[in-house]
Amino acid sequence: MVVLDAELEPQSLSRAAQFGLPTDWVTALVKYDPERRQVLRVRSCVAGSHAAGVFKDGDLLLAMQGRLMSSFRDVEDCLTEFDQVCVGGGRGGLVGVSGCVRGCVRGCGG
C-alpha cells in the first residue's frame, strides 16, 4: 500500500481563493473538476516524516506529476502509478509541480 504521510482535507475553491489561491489555479481546477470545485488542503503530517519537511499545515496540494489534484482518488491514483512523486514547495502555502520529493511517499512511492 502506498502512503502519503500527510492528512488531506477538501476545501472549496472559493474559500481557497479567499486565502490567496491565484485565479489561474482556480480556473484550471474548475475546468478539471467542475462538479467538486475543491482543492485538497494539508491538515497535518506524520511527525518526523519527509512529508513534514515538505508540507506545512494549511498548504494546498494542487498538482503531482504534472496532474491537477482535486480529490482523494486523484492522489491515490497518482501514488499508485508512480515510484516517485513530484510536488515541490510553492510560495504562500501552495504546493504545485516543481521538484521530485523523495521519501515523502514510503520508498519514494511504493
Q: Considering the domain boundaries, does residue 21 fall inside one?
A: no
Task: Output DSSP code: residue 105.
Answer: B
Three-class DSSP category at 100: strand
Greater pLDDT, 106 or 83: 83
pLDDT digits (tens, 9 = 90+) for 18-46: 988 889 889 999 999 999 999 988 888 88
Q: Where are the beta strands (DSSP E) in the chain?
A: 6-12, 38-45, 60-61, 63-64, 67-68, 85-86, 94-95, 100-101
Amino acid, res. 25: W
Q: Considering the domain boundaries, does residue 56 fall inside one?
A: yes
Q: Considering the domain boundaries, does residue 59 fall inside one?
A: yes
Q: For residue 90, what are the domain limits?
A: 6-11+39-109
pTM of the entire predicted model: 0.74
Greater pLDDT, 75 or 94: 75
Instruction: Supply the CATH number for residue 65's domain.
Output: 2.30.42
Kindly report the average pLDDT of the chain as a whole number: 74
Q: What are phi and psi of 44, to 5 degrees?
A: -165, 170
Greater pLDDT, 47 or 96: 47
Q: Considering the domain boundaries, does residue 69 fall inside one?
A: yes
